[in-house]
Amino acid sequence: MTPIQIAIVGVGKIVRDQHLPAISKNADYRLIAAASRHGTVDGIDNFKSIEAMLEAVPAIDAVSLCMPPQYRYEAAHLALQAGKHVFLEKPPGATLSEVADLEALAAAKGVSLFASWHSRYAPAVEAAKAFLASTAIRNVKVIWKEDVRHWHPHQEWIWAAGGLGVFDPGINALSIVTHILPRPIFITSATLEFPENRDAPIAATIAFSDAGKLSVSAEFDWRQTGKQSWDIVAETDAGEMVLSEGGAKLAVDGKLVHEEPEQEYPMLYRRFAELIKAGKSDVDLAPLRHVADAFMLGRRKFVDVFYD
Amino acid sequence: MTPIQIAIVGVGKIVRDQHLPAISKNADYRLIAAASRHGTVDGIDNFKSIEAMLEAVPAIDAVSLCMPPQYRYEAAHLALQAGKHVFLEKPPGATLSEVADLEALAAAKGVSLFASWHSRYAPAVEAAKAFLASTAIRNVKVIWKEDVRHWHPHQEWIWAAGGLGVFDPGINALSIVTHILPRPIFITSATLEFPENRDAPIAATIAFSDAGKLSVSAEFDWRQTGKQSWDIVAETDAGEMVLSEGGAKLAVDGKLVHEEPEQEYPMLYRRFAELIKAGKSDVDLAPLRHVADAFMLGRRKFVDVFYD
């Protein structure tokens, strides 16, 4: 098969760290162009805007959109309207409604839209899902605590209204939880902690339930120094399951049962190629819907000012 | 046809004012039971809980759920699980995710779920939709300003986290706007004003757009004394359209073109009976999705304390 001629929009850290290596190692793709206000990619045509790129390079089959979510709708709409397949970095947009609109447009144009959730492709996630399906779950605790100064230094957009704050990493946890639990969950209460000088939360405590009254709790915190935690702990009839390091390791009753090298972005690009070949889209809004639900239902609490 | 044996859950003001008269005038229904912590309905069996009611009256075919949204999921789940058709007052739930879960359960059980939006059945709404479809729209302004002390005196639940605040009436406007505009809209920015002593907003200013870059703005305010406003104004190539009084009247360039008696709840119950007969559900989450998007994307601003 002829490789998929792909272009990148929004050349930043995640593109250099993850997208470019994943694309270059996958024979299904040939990277032919990039568009970005500031960044460029060596060895291909670079443009300042997606409009200019789509105009100049009609051979593009697919685009990966990696700019901040606040700017993603317009680019996605242009690309879909031009008949290109679209890969959306997480979160897929600034609102649920705009992503629903894009999904309808992709269907109308007969192209593939992929709302990617990279953490779902962490090495031990499928093993955790299989383990939970094999037993009865008593309760689930999600602990996602990291140091924002280390992971997002001076990223102002993440603190703006719509930037999601601590839900930017938290949505990774939600993308895993919604994938591995046997039934859909929904939020019953939440508290969001906003620094007095910021428009996005620095921490959140969330309680979920499901049709079987399972108790699922989540603690997201961006003020964690020292050891970082990206863990999902489930008490089950078959022991305590710990999915740790963001889905990299699975242990049951303290015994490591699954650990493999991390392959998230290579797997995302494999999935995107499969979707294009099958003529399908994959737009699961559940993780972003939980974030919107948390903002709608949650109580706001004000905490100390935050400076980088 | 045998009438649909219907029961009401959550007997409060809206039930006495709207649901009971609409049901009693519709030959498709026979009201046979009610469940409510405090209220009762004369002449039928009354229960303290939906569990007790479903247990005692197996003949119930359908239930109308009219309690505050924070308590609606559990009742809806019980009723659907018992094979009953379910009518949900607006908003259909406290979160988007729980309503999505109920929709899947209704489909699995082969019963009808109706997420009702009464304002969509206001007399002039269909005429407004037809007018907008016949011309080019330049911009749309939604002005929904009312006196909360008059319309919701001492309703504490409406001010609690999850009670939605000014979005409780605002969602009526959104249910109309999403119905009459030709294309889906999405929020691009929002400001939510919270009284310092309350967990829900007292006012909101929202900007929307759509795939055609239409500008739609909404102003919701609960501090309006004197004249109340529930208006949707569209500048179009065929003149200025004003849909006023919550959808009751339609005027173009100042000339009244449509006015009929209000029939919202009778039409909702007609629709629910049609859905049951057709074996279908009608769960349009767009209005609630916009509210969740506004909370997620919106900037929070603090304003004067509010006391009833």
pLDDT at position B162: 84
Alpha-carbon A266 to chain mean position: 15
Residue at A131 is within a domain: yes
Same domain? For B130 and B254 the reply is yes
Instruction: Flag whether pLDDT at A1 surpasses 80.
Output: no
Residue at A23 is within a domain: yes
pLDDT at position B133: 98
Helices and strands, counts by H and E, chain B: 10, 15
Nearest by CB to B96, which of A161, A162, A292? A292
Q: B298 to chain A: which residues are within 8 Å by CB? A: 161
Same domain? For A166 and A298 the reply is yes
pLDDT at position B284: 97
What is the average pLDDT across A49-56?
98
The residue whose two tokens read 């999505």 is: B100
- Sequence letter at residue A45: D
Cβ contact A186–B293 (<8 Å): no
Q: Which residues of A121-160 are buried (b: 16+ CB within 10 A; e: fewer)?
A: bbbbbbbbbebbeeeebeebebbbbbebeeebeebebbbb
Torsion of CA B256, B258, B260, B262, to 10 degrees: -100
Nearest by CB to B293, which of A95, A297, A298? A95
Same domain? For A142 and A91 the reply is no
Q: For a pLDDT cut of 70, what percent of chain A falls above it?
A: 100
Q: Which of B25, B48, B90, B255 is catalytic?
A: B90
Same domain? For B72 and B144 the reply is no
CA-to-CA dists, residue A235 to A69, A249, B82, B148, angstroms: 35, 17, 30, 46
List A156's β-bridge partners, or say none.
none
Same domain? For A37 and A124 the reply is no
Of B36 and A308, the structure prediction assigns the larger pLDDT to: B36
First-to-last alpha carbon distance for chain B, in angstroms, is 49
Nearest by CB to B98, which of A73, A94, A186? A186
Closest-CA residue of B relative to A301 is B199
Closest CA to B67 of B93, B42, B47: B93
Residue at A270 is within a domain: no
Cβ contact A187–B292 (<8 Å): no
Nearest by CB to A97, which of B161, B184, B299? B184
Here the CATH number for the domain that contains residue A203 is: 3.30.360.10
**How many C-beta neighbours within 10 Å does residue B136 have?**
12
Residue at B282 is within a domain: no
Q: B293 to chain A: which residues are within 8 Å by CB? A: 95-97, 292
The secondary structure element, H or E, covering residue B235 is strand B229-236
Q: Is A290 on the interface with B (CB under 8 A)?
A: yes
pLDDT at position A88: 97
**Tens of pLDDT along A160-173?**
888 899 999 999 99
Q: What is the DSSP string of B258-294?
A: EE----HHHHHHHHHHHHHHHT--B---HHHHHHHHH
Same domain? For B211 and B231 the reply is yes
Same domain? For B147 and B9 the reply is no
Closest-CA residue of B relative to A209 is B98
Torsion of CA A225, A227, A231, A235, to 10 degrees: -110
Here the CATH number for the domain that contains residue A96 is: 3.40.50.720
pLDDT at position B259: 87
- Mean pLDDT across chain A, nearest whole number? 96
Closest-CA residue of B relative to A70 is B188
Instruction: Flag whether pLDDT at A51 surpasses 90.
Output: yes
Query: What tokens were used for A86?
Result: 């679209």
Nearest by CB to B199, which of A101, A289, A299? A299
Cβ contact A161–B105 (<8 Å): no
Same domain? For A139 and A197 the reply is yes
Residue at A268 is within a domain: no
Please identify, among B115, B144, B172, the residue that sits at the C-terminal boundary of a domain.
Answer: B115
Same domain? For B111 and B125 the reply is no
- Name the residue range of residue A236's domain: 120-261+292-303
Residue at A191 is within a domain: yes
pLDDT at position A157: 84
Closest-CA residue of A relative to B94 is A297
Same domain? For B44 and B190 the reply is no
- pLDDT by 10s per residue, chain B, length 308: 689 999 999 999 899 999 999 999 999 999 999 999 999 999 999 999 999 999 999 999 999 999 988 889 999 999 999 999 999 999 999 999 999 999 999 999 999 999 999 999 999 999 999 999 999 999 999 999 999 999 998 888 889 888 899 999 999 999 999 999 999 999 999 999 999 999 999 999 999 999 999 999 999 999 999 999 999 999 999 999 999 999 999 999 999 998 889 999 999 999 999 999 999 999 999 999 999 999 999 999 999 999 98
Position A294 confidence tier, pLDDT thresholds 50, 70, 90: very high
Helix/strand/coil for B17:
helix
Position A92 confidence tier, pLDDT thresholds 50, 70, 90: very high
CA-based nearest distance A73→chain B, Å: 9
- Per the structure, how many domains does chain A have? 2
* Residue A164 backbone class (left: φ over 0; alpha: ψ -120 to 50; beta: rest): left
Q: For a pLDDT cut of 90, what percent of chain A falls above it?
A: 93
Residue at B270 is within a domain: no
B129 is catalytic: no
Q: Is A291 on the interface with B (CB under 8 A)?
A: yes
Please identify, among A87, A115, A143, the residue that sits at the C-terminal boundary of a domain.
Answer: A115
The residue whose two tokens read 């011309």 is: B135
The secondary structure element, H or E, covering residue B185 is strand B185-195
pLDDT at position A161: 87
Rounded Cα–Cα distance for residues B67 and B79 (Å): 14
pLDDT at position B163: 86
Closest-CA residue of A relative to B77 is A211
Q: Which pTM was predicted?
A: 0.96
Residue at B281 is within a domain: no
Please identify, among B75, B94, B115, the residue that sits at the C-terminal boundary of a domain.
Answer: B115
**Active site positions of A, annotated:** 90
Same domain? For A166 and A99 the reply is no
Same domain? For B163 and B298 the reply is yes
Cβ contact A77–B210 (<8 Å): no
CA-based nearest distance B245→chain A, Å: 27
